[in-house]
Structure 1
Amino acid sequence: MDLRAGDPGSYLGGDEIVETAHPGVRALAADLRAAHPGDEDFARAAFEWVRDRVRHSVDAQDPRVTLTAGEVLGARVGLCYAKSHLLAAVSRAGGIPTGLCYQQFAGESGPVLHGLVAVHLDGRWHRQDPRGNRPGIDARFRLDTEQLAFPVAERDFPEVHVSASPAVVAALRGAGDVLELCRTGLPGTP
């Protein structure tokens, strides 16, 4: 897939959702970078840390709503969007340009948005999906080809975003129970 993105340097900063300055995010990035000094190894370690150590809300049946990188890191749970916010923050704090990407799937009550990231390595953008594995889902960090949680989407949005989708932010901020949000109305477009 041809991804559309701006200058990679613009994907290194943080904001109120992708909190690169959060102390926990910075500490995690520093620990991972110390253990994995090469860019590809660091990006893989950050991906695997978020994929494997932060539970997906639905898999965990955890109703807590997390949105920001700091919230996700503290709770160790989140939807795909929230996990992507944490991965983007950790990766950026470690010096890897990282953007947010989206896919669309047909849901029971209409289109549903899925969040993932793209990292800029070797002069190109590579989509990675930190959703979390379970039977039937085997997302891997790969630069040669994509191995996403959901390899076939109804629609792949080619844009690599610096900031989180306003629709995602509004949905999560307005939710009191993330499991109920999943049943009644996840965003359908970024």
Structure 2
Amino acid sequence: MFQKFILETDAIDFGHPKMIQKSLQLFTPKMSDVEKAIIAYEFVRDEIPHSFDCNAKVITARASDVLIHQTGICQAKANLLAALLRSQNIPTGFCFQHITLADDDSLGYCVHAYNAVFLEDHWIRLDARGNKPGVHAQFSLKKPVLAFSNRPEYDEYHWPGIYANPHRDTMLKLKKAGCLQDVLDHLPESLNEKPDVSV
């Protein structure tokens, strides 16, 4: 069941030299999986600014590019966290949320990505989007503390299940985007894939 959640892929390229270097900096063999997950999560959440928060001039998608350029949107940052943890053989996947692009639904919706990590015999959910006023995601082995709460009045919800791979349509849009406005204008708002784990 877990094999597909520890694989290296084009987007989750933990074998890249920069990824290997960062893993050696972050982790030691004596650390537990929980300790490694906390360190990786806080690094991606706090040290890699969300592209819209820092008005990034470069658009990233692949984990190594997020690390090299030190920025990414939610899906790109989730790719980096997955790569760091998979490099330590810690099963890591993706979860998705239907949320508004603005404080209300005036700008439409997008597919927000965050991670699921298998620790202490169960899946936990971690959102490394990056904290800011009004966003206070935290590491939790129990009840998830995510970046965004669903607001039913705005048709916000989580897609059920855990996915082994990033959201395909979002990745395609990121690879084609030349600037943040391109990203904003073309972010997908639907999910067509089926989850690899139903929880």
- Equivalent residue, structure 2, for 1:74: 68
Once the two structures are TM-superposed, the CA of residue 36 in structure 1 deviates from its matched residue by: 6.3
Whether the 8 Å CA contact 1:103–1:156 is kept in 2: the answer is yes
Per-residue CA distance 1:82-121 (angstroms, 9 max, x = gap)? 0000000001001210001110113434321111000001
Percent of aligned positions with the same letter in both sequences? 32
TM-score by length of 2: 0.86
Moved more, 161-170 or 173-182: 173-182
Once the two structures are TM-superposed, the CA of residue 24 in structure 1 deviates from its matched residue by: 1.6
Query: How far apart in 2 are the matches of 1:106 and 1:130?
Result: 18
Moved more, 97-106 or 66-75: 97-106
Whether the 8 Å CA contact 1:13–1:20 is kept in 2: the answer is no
- Equivalent residue, structure 2, for 1:45: 39
- Equivalent residue, structure 2, for 1:175: 177
Once the two structures are TM-superposed, the CA of residue 35 in structure 1 deviates from its matched residue by: 7.6
TM-score by length of 1: 0.90
Query: How far apart in 2 are the matches of 1:15 and 1:71?
Result: 14
Once the two structures are TM-superposed, the CA of residue 22 in structure 1 deviates from its matched residue by: 1.2
How many residues align structurally? Answer: 183
Query: How far apart in 1 are the matches of 2:146 and 2:90?
Result: 19
Q: Any gaps of 5 or more consecutive residues in structure 2?
A: 192-199
- Equivalent residue, structure 1, for 2:188: 187
Between Structure 1 and Structure 2, which shows a larger proportion of strand residues?
1
Which amino acid is 1:62 matched to? A
Q: What SS does structure 2 have at the residue aligned with 1:126?
A: strand
RMSD value over aligned CA atoms? 1.5
Give yes or no for the alignment of 1:100 onto 2:94: yes
Q: What SS does structure 2 have at the residue aligned with 1:176?
A: coil
Which amino acid is 2:162 matched to? V
Match of 2:18 among 24, 35, 58: 24
Q: Any gaps of 5 or more consecutive residues in structure 1?
A: 1-6
Q: What SS does structure 2 have at the residue aligned with 1:78?
A: coil
